[in-house]
Chains A and B, each alone.
Chain A
Amino acid sequence: MREAATPWERLRQVLVTVGPGGLWLVLFVLIPTLVMLVASLMSRGSLGQLVPPLGLHNYVRFFSDPLFIEIIGRSLWIGFWSTVLIMLLGYPLAFYIAQSRYKEVLLLLVVIPFFTNFLIRVYAWIVVFQKEGLLNGLITAFGLPPLELLPSTFAVYVATVYTYLPFFVLPLYAAVERIDWSQLEAAYDLGARPIRAFWEAIFPQTVPGLFAGFLLVFIPAVGTFVIADLLGGGKVILVGNLIQLQFGSAQNWAFGSAVSMVLMAMVLLGLWLYARTQGEKGLDRLV
């Protein structure tokens, strides 16, 4: 490297190389997070505005109320199991698409739902699940009694899986598509039976895609509120609904910020634990 650059020159070098990306991160990640952090430490004024005093009272309120703990617990629970269901459906689907002769068409089918607004797609499930809806029409046609499907946790699960499945399939497909299938034959050739061969030769190569897909699905699934709102009615309150409520009708931005911070902290904690157990390799995969 060149010797004896003046401090100004060096600053310029830094700005030119990491400047644009850094600026982006500062503007759209760091500053909003700091704003929210400060807001979470403030209080609600009589008109719903943010006022001092600063303190940890919002966090104390959150963690001392079992109702809030239950809400975040339920969110993580539903988010986790939705993600598991999505992985079980999406993993074979990605392989099926990757080896299909019609993969362009199948990929298009996966992406097509995005052409329609998310809210409208959730409303569509109401048409399916409501008392005189499509599903009950089918059930009663067989002479069975209609089901009470709205509002229900079941409906929330179905819509969550439906909504986020593409977010899992697409990154995984990208990983699967790159796999050289002669490696599977190489594994057979070296004495591995089919399941073992898949597990040793192919599966590890899908782990980065699997993890990317997991993150892309789990984080929004935990934070969703529209699905729970429309299909869960008052029965299923998730942390997303809680936050929305605070920023909306309750007009308590300070508490809403605090709940958001807790949610973010939990996700980061999960990532940190993953990175710890997997070592640097795990972090590499993440990025």
Chain B
Amino acid sequence: MGPTLFRSRRERKLGEHIAVRLEGVTKRFGDQKAVEDVNLEVRDGEFFSLLGPSGCGKTTLLRMIAGFETPDEGRVIIGGRDMTQVPPYLRPVNTVFQNYALFPHMTVEQNIAFGLRMKKMPRDEIARRVQWALELINLPGYEKRRPDQMSGGQRQRIALARALVNEPEVLLLDEPLSALDLKLRQELRVDLMNLQERLGITFIFVTHDQEEALVMSDRIAVMNKGRIEQLGPTEEIYELPQTAFVARFIGDSNLIPAQAIEPRKVKTALGEFVLDDEDALTPGQEVLLSIRPEKIRLFREKPNLPNVFRARVDDIIYTGSENQYVLVAGGQRLMCETLNHDIQEPGHEEFAYDEEVWVALTPEKLVVIQGGSEGSNPYA
């Protein structure tokens, strides 16, 4: 996996065909609903992530696509064919398991060849493809090793090769990086993205790591309590969270309760704010305003901007690349992040403890979460 840098996700063109379609899929374990009425379409060649906290049903959903679980209701359609009742060994998908699930009694070569052997492929063809797969994951020469003689990262790549060598229509990845340390995880992310780009195989990627999902995916489905909270392109998930849960779970977010007084004007404990042109509220409506910490701007002198109010610096967290300010205003705490530029200019100044600052919330960056749904706190 060479040093090629991955093209920005924004430029990617996806196929028109639907690789996987889930229609009203529901799965219960006892009286616990693990997955509830999930509908989604994954397009050909897409890098699609199922993101959510543990127990949100994302793994169960993946296992239903793999065929390890059968939905109680709904249909699983893969490549245009209804596969709801088809056993896993007849589905055109392969899985990379969280704990790798390599066969410990087989060599690397035998592990990778397993799927091809089940297809009764001729020997020399198997040998050729195994070589191809080993080169793909950058581990040629490791044929005769056993899994227990390899590092975690190497095992992960073998698990990947063992799945990809079968040329599946869809590759399912169940938190494949969660057992690795940070540095390795970041390397493998890039490797995975390059590999997916090169092979053009649809990836469905389960993770609880929002950064991982943001970096790698074309689209993300955020799951909570067995349901899809929001499904959309990566940037949309981050920039325009539709529920409080999504706003909190993806990155950090400041949530400000507000009441509409005009279609584009709300009243909050911090003062009255004007909203973006696209927002249209009915007066009296209760909503939540969400704004990302890095989108809050701080000034020493009062700027000539809309939505400006005074706040006090309650705490400063220095993380190296950023200064995080904890602000207090109107009885509410706000998180604000500024890059540690070493450039002092309006909007990029450094502040001290207990300093009174001017805070500006740009209307376009204020996201309105309708229904006032408090959602559930993923960290509760």
Contact = CB atoms under 8 A, between A and B. Distances in A.
Contact of A186 (B90, B103, B105): B103
B101 A186 contact: yes
Interface string A199-241: 0110011000000000000000000000000000000000000
B118 A192 contact: yes
B101 A188 contact: no
Contacts of A191: 89-90, 115, 118-119, 166
Interface of B: 66-68, 87-90, 93-95, 97, 99, 101-105, 114-115, 118-119, 162-163, 166
B115 A188 contact: no
Interface stretch (A9-17, A129-137, A177-185): A177-185
A183 B98 CA distance: 11
Contacts of B68: 185, 188
Contacts of B114: 187, 190, 192, 200
A26 B62 CA distance: 59
B118 A190 contact: yes
Interface of A: 180, 182-183, 185-193, 196-197, 200-201, 204-205
**By CB atoms of chain A within 10 A, which of B102, B114, B163 has the most?**
B114
Contacts of A189: 66-67, 88-89, 93-95, 163
Contact of B118 (A185, A196, A204, A205): A196
A196 B88 CA distance: 13
Contacts of A200: 103, 114
B89 A180 contact: no
B186 to A, nearest CB: 26
Nearest to A179: B104
A278 B322 CA distance: 62
B155 to A, nearest CB: 12
Contact of A192 (B67, B89, B162): B89
Nearest to B165: A190
B118 A186 contact: no
Nearest to A181: B101
9 contacts: A182-B101, A183-B103, A185-B66, A189-B89, A190-B94, A190-B166, A197-B89, A201-B103, A205-B105
Nearest to A204: B105
A197 B95 CA distance: 15
Nearest to B87: A188
A180 B95 contact: no
A233 to B, nearest CB: 47
Contacts of A180: 99, 101
Contacts of A183: 101-103
Q: Which 3 A-B residue pairings sit nearest by Cβ, starting from the closest?
A: A191-B118, A190-B115, A186-B101
A201 B101 CA distance: 10
Contacts of B97: 182, 185-186
B246 to A, nearest CB: 30
B114 to A, nearest CB: 5
A186 B97 CA distance: 8
**By CB atoms of chain B within 10 A, which of A180, A188, A197, A201 has the most?**
A188
**By CB atoms of chain A within 10 A, which of B67, B93, B115 has the most?**
B115
A187 to B, nearest CB: 7
Contacts of B163: 189-190
